[in-house]
Amino acid sequence: MPFPFFLRLAYIGTDFHGWQIQTHARSVQAELWKALRAFDPEAPMPQGTGRTDAGVHAKAQGVLVRMTRPWEPYRLLAALNAHLSADVRVMEGFPVDEAFWPRHHAVAKRYVYRLNEGPAEDPFERDRSWHVFGAAPLDLGIMARAAEALVGKHDFSSFRHQECAAKSPLRTLYKIDVQVHGAAVDLVFEGNRFLMHQVRIMTGTLVDIGKGRIARDAIPGILAARDRSKAGFTAPPHGLCLEVVWYESCWSIGPPCPWGEGVYEASPQV
């Protein structure tokens, strides 16, 4: 009989080609599975809550592993971390009901995209933020007002990669915040789920608006066009981090979702 555990993973995505296992590239899923099989050779492949792109970071990737024998949670955490590289760590682990499935029972996520507007690229932030340089600073007020048009349930066809395999482009954004921390600017996105590159395309579009390259009132028209070419460019991956995943409260995993528990449809890229 399997012994299912929920794990919360944190990783720096710089040297990974994303979460999903790949044949010829390093991935977080493959790294975790290799560590798992070092002491439980029959354990099946771990299952994550969603994919992250190459170069994208995570503080809260939710993962289901099925052990072939019982474990004390702290011993399992220690055993896995002893076999993992320094850029990925299991931060939390505990038994979970065998019916739990991370992709299907998540109800919302928070992604944070970090920009940096300093006069020079901060080497300590080089792999974790996008340095946006210009003669004039970004107009953050205009960006925040423009972002309001993205909040709500929309067809986000204009904000997804052409190879996105999600069946539906409909997504619901609950909140977008623009937060300033000295020279750093965090764009905080909370929604029920996300399309392939959606957050990065929304970020690139908002930066173009903040620089005056796209009109401040353009987003409703971009959404209505349902045409990727109408939105801004795709922001680089290294500024993006998956910070929070909320699950249905019945599984007792983390705090309840502040936005309620509407139906979450798993998609191939979230």
The set of residues, in sequence order, having a beta carbon less than 8 Å from that of 237 and lying 6+ positions away, is 13, 53, 54, 55, 56, 200
**pLDDT tens by residue, 124-157:** 888 999 999 887 899 999 999 999 999 999 999 9
Give tens-digit pLDDT for 232-241. 999 999 999 9
Q: What is the pLDDT of residue 56?
A: 98
What CA–CA distances, in Å, run from 236 to 91, 123, 182, 241?
26, 16, 21, 12
Question: Active site residue: 53, 139, 177, 227, which one?
Answer: 53
> What pTM did the predictor assign?
0.94
53 is catalytic: yes
The better pLDDT of the pair 118, 259 is held by: 259
> Hey, what domains does the chain have and what are their CATH numbers?
3-100 (3.30.70.580), 107-243 (3.30.70.660)
Query: Which residue is it, tokens 């299912």?
Result: 4
